[in-house]
Amino acid sequence: MVLPCKGSALDHDTVSNTHFDSKITMWYDLHDESDVYIVPWSTLIGPCFLFENINYNGPNVDGKYECDKKGCCILPMSKWGDIFL
């Protein structure tokens, strides 16, 4: 099951300081939770796991923190050397 992103990666200056910011991360706007699809593994062509940004500094309503519908994808370790050198 896949929750798709809206378009390309966001510029790092467009995400707030509550987001993990690093050269090895790419942030995306996520679709609504109702836009979940089942796709075959063979159709995935890149990183397919990201985690949602949950604002733990924000208000806690009924034991839940606000999510801004942005997801963070960590680049593969094979690319880290090129980024830091």
Q: Are 73 and 28 in contact (CB under 8 A)?
A: yes
Q: Which class for 75: exposed (0-12), middle (13-18), buried (19 or more C-beta within 10 A)?
A: middle
17-67 pLDDT tens trace: 777 778 888 888 888 888 888 888 888 877 677 787 777 777 788 888 777
Q: Are 71 and 5 in contact (CB under 8 A)?
A: yes
The predicted pLDDT at position 52 comes to 79
pTM for the full model? 0.70
61-85 pLDDT tens trace: 888 877 788 888 888 888 888 888 7
Q: What are phi and psi of 25, to 5 degrees?
A: -110, 155
The predicted pLDDT at position 71 comes to 84
